[in-house]
Amino acid sequence: MDSRSWLPRGLRAPVAAAYIGIGKSKFFELVKVGLLGKIPEKESTDSMSEESLEWLVHHYCKSAEFSQLSSATQHSRRLILEDVCRRHGNEPYALLKPRHVLALRDEKSKTPQAANNRLKALKQVFKHAVKYELLETNPTEEVTKFPSTGSGHRSWTDAEIEQFEKRHPVGTKAHLALALLLYTAQRRSDVVLMGRQHIRDGWLTLTQQKDHVRNPVMLSIPVIPELRDVIEKSPTGDPTFLVTGYGKPFTAAGFGNWFRDRCNEAGLRHCSAHGLRKAAATRLAEAGCSAQEIMAITGHRSLAQLQRYINTANQKTLAKAAMKRLCDGQANRIGNKSDHTDNHARSTFKTLLHGSRAAGLQLDADHAGRPLRRRFLGWRRRLW
């Protein structure tokens, strides 16, 4: 009997090929991971040179500073640094100069945000090296990020929000997700954790997930009637309002993918969940809220982060006031010119009237029933 006969018939050939291709020990290690959910032990650092960039990255990832990062940040940073080490891990880190760091950054120049993320990760690695006296100077200090080429996720317009609500009316999970994002102005990582336990006496209290380990931000936000109405009319889970099709809470990434599909269904492929946070901040700014009032809702830590929303609102307010002044000025000029013309007409009428009487002239019979002043003003209007 074939030793692999316990496998489904369609998988026997692929598994046999894998068994032959990668070897017995590696094959069963992968099987153990797949069936038991165990993670194989990481490679030992014994094979790494203590002078290599790969060793320095490993040293940083075991540090207290790295452990204080959120799990999501740790994961993304590991991926970035592993990508660097695949090509440059054997290079001696002590010989790296700013020009080398520039070259590492510029490898991602076609995607400036990815290049900036790589540079940010490297800066933390070499900052760690200086702190632990593995280096005397930090070669990344003189290297700057690529300038931002845009404003990131675009904000939703009122028309786009209405279009989404029309496709996903009140009572649907998609509409509930929209309302939570728009009426709390929070990130998707915060919205997926919200539940009834966070609402007390009309206030929603939460701790933002971004940087919550090192620098937590706790917020209390009033639950406005619009949001309360949507929650009461929508299907919700427990302990979170939003749950998957299996009744489990969403992860931030999973929710982002799910909401992406709901946007596509509404014909809004260019919109995203984070764009609703921007829309909420823009609405607050356009309503005349101060920077401090907006920060009390969104949880932003600095005015610089909010300035683009305030600038947009101020621009619209100033543009509206400017055009109103223009329209009022036009109306005043027309009114003044009309008054001047009427005064001139009256003066001319009097001159003609007195002149005709002094000369003993009589009005034509055809116009006997039409006063001369009305006739003159009629001429003036036609000329005007």
Whether residue 63 is contained in a domain is answered as yes
Whether residue 83 is contained in a domain is answered as yes
Whether residue 306 is contained in a domain is answered as no
Q: Are residues 218 and 333 in the same domain?
A: no
Q: Which residue, 121, 150, 179, sits at the end of a domain? A: 150
Whether residue 189 is contained in a domain is answered as yes
Whether residue 307 is contained in a domain is answered as no
Q: Are residues 283 and 165 in the same domain?
A: yes
Q: Are residues 237 and 263 in the same domain?
A: yes
State pLDDT tens for residues 32-84. Answer: 555 544 444 445 556 788 999 999 999 999 999 999 888 888 999 999 999 99
Report d(CA 308, CA 278) in Å as an integer: 10
Q: Are residues 53 and 36 in the same domain?
A: no
Its domain, for residue 217, covers 158-301
Report d(CA 130, CA 321) in Å as an integer: 55
- Per-residue model confidence (pLDDT) at position 334: 67
What CATH code is carried by the domain that includes residue 203? 1.10.443.10
Q: Are residues 290 and 197 in the same domain?
A: yes
- Per-residue model confidence (pLDDT) at position 203: 97
Q: Are residues 163 and 293 in the same domain?
A: yes
User: What is the chain's pLDDT, residue by residue, as a tens digit (384 residues)?
Assistant: 444 444 444 444 444 444 444 455 555 555 555 554 444 444 555 678 899 999 999 999 999 999 988 888 899 999 999 999 999 999 999 999 999 999 999 999 999 989 999 999 999 999 999 999 999 999 999 999 998 766 567 889 999 999 999 999 999 999 999 999 999 999 999 999 999 999 999 999 999 998 887 788 999 999 999 999 999 999 999 999 999 999 999 999 999 999 999 999 999 999 999 999 999 998 998 888 888 999 999 999 888 778 777 777 778 777 888 888 888 877 777 666 566 666 665 666 566 556 555 545 444 444 444 555 555 555 445 544
- Per-residue model confidence (pLDDT) at position 14: 47
Q: Are residues 108 and 27 in the same domain?
A: no
- The terminus-to-terminus CA distance of the chain in angstroms comes to 108
Q: Are residues 62 and 125 in the same domain?
A: yes
DSSP string, 89-140: TTSBGGG--HHHHHHHHHTTTTSHHHHHHHHHHHHHHHHHHHHTTS-SS-TT
Whether residue 13 is contained in a domain is answered as yes
Question: Three-state SS string across 69-102, please?
Answer: CCHHHHHHHHHHHHHHHHHHCCCEHHHCCHHHHH
User: Residue holding tokens 């109306």?
Assistant: 331
- Per-residue model confidence (pLDDT) at position 47: 72
The amino acid at 363 = L
What CATH code is carried by the domain that includes residue 108? 1.10.150.130
Q: Are residues 115 and 175 in the same domain?
A: no
The amino acid at 241 = F
Q: Are residues 133 and 223 in the same domain?
A: no
Residues in the chain: 384
Q: Are residues 103 and 118 in the same domain?
A: yes
- Per-residue model confidence (pLDDT) at position 186: 96
Please count the structural domains in the chain: 4
The mean pLDDT value of the chain amounts to: 82
Q: Are residues 164 and 297 in the same domain?
A: yes
Whether residue 131 is contained in a domain is answered as yes
Q: Which residue, 249, 281, 301, sits at the end of a domain? A: 301
Whether residue 369 is contained in a domain is answered as yes
- Per-residue model confidence (pLDDT) at position 70: 83
- Per-residue model confidence (pLDDT) at position 128: 96
Longest distance between any two alpha carbons in the chain, whole Å? 138
- Per-residue model confidence (pLDDT) at position 40: 46
